[in-house]
């Protein structure tokens, strides 16, 4: 679709007509225009700025639509939103903004289109298209935003020190756009972000996380993550992660830099999954390595128990960042906890019982766990790289084979506690747990098949060994 065609969408003509009725000028601005020129999928939300009342224009526009949609008015922000079909059109009056040091909520006064473009975060977000009769579709680009789009540069319309200090969320946005669009942040902006990094504290964690998620969902999240690191923001947001940075050497032994390794793992996994939480699992999979690092005279550098420590840290990080403390967090914890299991398995002889245990522990998430572990292979030694991938292929094949035969993925014991109580005529007691565990172990070890008859027979024998008699 060409630009001329896009702007011919009836919705734009209707906004133009509404504006002309109200005798105000109006413009499409922001993400819609940017993404249109970048040939990205144009967003379903359209921002319209009018030199007049955004709320009045929204009401006029809504009244002209057949479906007469509701106008959602946000009085405090002087904005109004109208949903029509699958579009959300947000109207705002052109404004000038000034900020207090301790808040990102500006003091607002009416302004011109130019004032409004000045208050925007980036030149590529300040592009405006006229919806006025006399020059419908004309591009108003006072800051050379088009050039920045071509050169792939993130730049602020005004002095970056002011733009970022006014609204420190923009530091996150700059890095997010650089990551999403694969753009460069111009040096003055980068410096201003470094200078203002501490001001991130006035931004709510929810907003920071929103931007982090967008970075995590970009094609190569390492672009954004390394910018967060270089500007010093990451240390303020996720110090657990920057604690992984660095290589120590003792008695000629070095360990790898687990921070840069993690970024590679995140990029690797992003080639194979769009699942946000699996990507987060990749980001946090080695998080327990900083607090567990030790140097052992015999073994060299060790990180004993880092998976367990790491999975506990996931909870603390999610809580602090106000991320959901639900099954998503549990999934990330589980991935971190199990993240070393497949490689340990692959380094040894791949036995059926080890595979059965892995499937039992990972359950439904076994495929995601394998995807994570394959992404974890970042060795630059081609021989080892090949060997690890080959071993994982063996593990995957074995998983499929064992799963088809033994069905342990959603393991339900073939004999349950009630049956044990009924069989031996005993009340709830310690013995029931012992027998249940023994049955599970026997199945996982491959001593008995995962079937009712075999499990019942095993239960009777186990009961007998505990001095129980069938009723």
Task: Pick the binder of ligand CTP from 95, 173, 306, 398 (CB under 6 A).
Answer: 173
Q: Which is nearer to ligand CTP, 157 or 310 (CB)?
A: 157
Q: Which two tokens stand for residue 279?
A: 């990507």
Contact set for ligand CTP, span 102-121 (CB under 6 A): 120-121
> Exposed, middle or buried by CB within 10 Å (0-12, 13-18, 19+), for 314?
buried
Position 95 contacts ligand CTP (CB under 6 A): no
Q: Which is nearer to ligand CTP, 77 or 315 (CB)?
A: 77
Position 211 contacts ligand CTP (CB under 6 A): no
Q: Phi first, then psi: give them for residue 97, nearest 5 degrees.
A: -130, 145
Name 304's Cβ contacts closer than 8 Å, sequence gap at least 6. 292, 294
Q: Which is nearer to ligand CTP, 155 or 255 (CB)?
A: 155
Q: Which is nearer to ligand CTP, 120 or 334 (CB)?
A: 120
Q: Which two tokens stand for residue 226?
A: 């390394």
Q: What distance in Å separates the CA atoms of residue 346 and residue 342, rounded to the nearest whole number?
A: 6
Q: Which two tokens stand for residue 204?
A: 């709510």
The DSSP letter of residue 302 is: E
Position 125 contacts ligand CTP (CB under 6 A): yes
Instruction: Report the nearest approach of ligand CTP to the CB of residue 169 (Å).
Output: 5
Instruction: Report the nearest approach of ligand CTP to the CB of residue 429 (Å).
Output: 59
The answer to whether residues 205 and 322 touch, using CB atoms and an 8 Å cutoff, is yes
Name 181's Cβ contacts closer than 8 Å, sequence gap at least 6. 38, 152
Instruction: Report the nearest approach of ligand CTP to the CB of residue 235 (Å).
Output: 22
Q: Which two tokens stand for residue 184?
A: 């460069």
Position 167 contacts ligand CTP (CB under 6 A): yes
Instruction: Report the nearest approach of ligand CTP to the CB of residue 207 (Å).
Output: 9
Cα separation values, 202 from 103, 121, 171, 207, 208, Å: 7, 17, 12, 11, 10
Q: Which is nearer to ligand CTP, 216 or 358 (CB)?
A: 216
The DSSP letter of residue 21 is: H
Instruction: Report the nearest approach of ligand CTP to the CB of residue 34 (Å).
Output: 6
Q: Which two tokens stand for residue 6?
A: 């896009």
Q: How many CB atoms lie within 10 A of CB 92?
A: 24
> Quick one: which segment of 12-20, 165-173, 224-232, 300-308 binds ligand CTP (CB under 6 A)?
165-173
Q: What distance in Å separates the CA atoms of residue 399 and residue 358, rounded to the nearest whole number?
A: 9
Instruction: Report the nearest approach of ligand CTP to the CB of residue 181 (Å).
Output: 10
Q: Which is nearer to ligand CTP, 53 or 125 (CB)?
A: 125
Contact set for ligand CTP, span 24-53 (CB under 6 A): 30-31, 43, 47
Instruction: Report the nearest approach of ligand CTP to the CB of residue 45 (Å).
Output: 6
Q: Which two tokens stand for residue 290?
A: 């900083």
Residue nearest to ligand CTP (CB): 31
Position 169 contacts ligand CTP (CB under 6 A): yes
Q: Which two tokens stand for residue 133?
A: 């009769």
Task: Pick the binder of ligand CTP from 16, 57, 148, 170 (CB under 6 A).
Answer: 170
| Interface size with ligand CTP, residues (CB under 6 A) | 11
Binding site for ligand CTP (CB under 6 A): 30-31, 43, 47, 120-121, 125, 167, 169-170, 173
């Amino acid at each position: 679709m060409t630009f001329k065609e896009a702007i011919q969408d009836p919705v734009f003509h209707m906004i133009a007509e509404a504006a002309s009725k109200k005798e105000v000028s109006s413009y499409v601005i922001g993400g819609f225009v940017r993404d249109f020129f970048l040939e990205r999928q144009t967003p379903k939300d359209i921002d319209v700025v009018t030199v007049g009342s955004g709320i009045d224009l929204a009401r006029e526009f809504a009244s002209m639509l057949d479906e007469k949609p509701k106008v959602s008015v946000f009085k405090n922000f002087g904005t109004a939103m109208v949903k029509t079909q699958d579009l959300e059109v947000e109207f705002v009056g052109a404004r000038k903004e000034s900020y207090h040091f301790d808040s990102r909520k500006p003091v607002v006064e009416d302004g011109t289109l130019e004032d409004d473009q000045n208050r925007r975060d980036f030149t590529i977000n300040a592009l405006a298209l006229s919806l006025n009769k006399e020059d419908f579709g004309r591009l108003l680009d006072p800051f050379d935003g088009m050039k920045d789009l071509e050169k792939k540069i993130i730049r602020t319309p005004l002095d970056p020190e002011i733009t970022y200090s006014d609204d420190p969320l923009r530091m996150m946005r700059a890095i997010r756009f650089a990551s999403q669009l694969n753009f460069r942040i111009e040096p003055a902006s980068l410096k201003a972000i470094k200078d203002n990094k501490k001001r991130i504290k006035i931004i709510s964690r929810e907003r920071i996380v929103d931007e982090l998620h967008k970075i995590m969902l970009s094609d190569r999240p390492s672009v954004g993550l390394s910018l967060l690191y270089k500007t010093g923001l990451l240390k303020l947001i996720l110090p657990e992660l920057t604690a992984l940075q660095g290589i120590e050497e003792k008695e000629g032994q070095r360990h790898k830099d687990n921070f840069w390794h993690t970024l590679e793992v995140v990029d690797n996994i992003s080639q194979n999954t769009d699942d946000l939480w699996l990507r987060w699992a990749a980001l946090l999979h080695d998080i327990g390595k900083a607090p567990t690092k030790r140097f052992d005279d015999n073994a060299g550098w060790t990180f004993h128990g880092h998976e367990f420590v790491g999975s506990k840290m996931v909870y603390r990080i999610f809580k602090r960042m106000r991320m959901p403390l639900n099954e998503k967090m549990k999934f990330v914890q589980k991935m971190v906890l199990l993240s070393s299991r497949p490689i340990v398995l692959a380094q040894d002889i791949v036995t059926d019982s080890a595979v059965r245990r892995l499937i039992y522990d990972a359950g439904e998430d076994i495929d995601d766990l394998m995807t994570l572990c394959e992404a974890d292979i970042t060795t630059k030694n081609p021989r080892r790289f090949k060997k690890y991938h080959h071993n994982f292929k063996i593990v995957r094949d074995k998983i499929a084979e064992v799963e088809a035969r033994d069905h342990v993925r959603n393991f339900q014991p073939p004999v349950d506690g009630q049956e044990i109580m009924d069989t031996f005529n005993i009340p709830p007691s310690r013995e029931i747990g012992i027998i249940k565990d023994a049955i599970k172990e026997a199945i996982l070890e491959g001593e008995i098949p995962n079937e009712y008859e075999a499990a019942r027979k095993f239960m009777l024998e186990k009961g007998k060994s505990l001095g129980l008699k069938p009723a």
